[in-house]
Amino acid sequence: MPPIEAMQAEVERRMRRGESFSDVEDLIDESELPADEKAALWLLAWTYLDRRAQRREARALLGALAGRAQQMSVNRRLLKAV
């Protein structure tokens, strides 16, 4: 079985068993698969979440990205002041 198919089966098995999305996400991230295959597996796992959980995960990620962008902006201003 090709690696992507084996990982697909593993992702589906874990999500059906009720493992947390973040644990399955870690499994995908730690694999040596190419980025596009990881993205497809992540999307597959995402489909196992109910809509509220999807929205919660998306908002958490957006919040983290916004915080990172804000910190980068602060860092740039500090560097300009030096």
**Tokens 């499994």 belong to which residue?**
27
Contact 40, 3 (CB under 8 A): no
Asked if residue 20 and residue 55 are part of one domain, the reply reads no
Per-residue pLDDT of the chain (82 residues; tens, 9 = 90+): 789 999 999 999 999 999 999 999 999 999 999 999 999 999 999 999 999 988 998 898 889 888 887 777 767 776 777 6
Rounded CA separation 39/50 (Å): 19
Asked if residue 34 and residue 13 are part of one domain, the reply reads yes
Domain that holds residue 30: 1-49
Tell whether pTM > 0.75.
no
Asked if residue 29 and residue 9 are part of one domain, the reply reads yes
In the chain, the number of structural domains is: 2
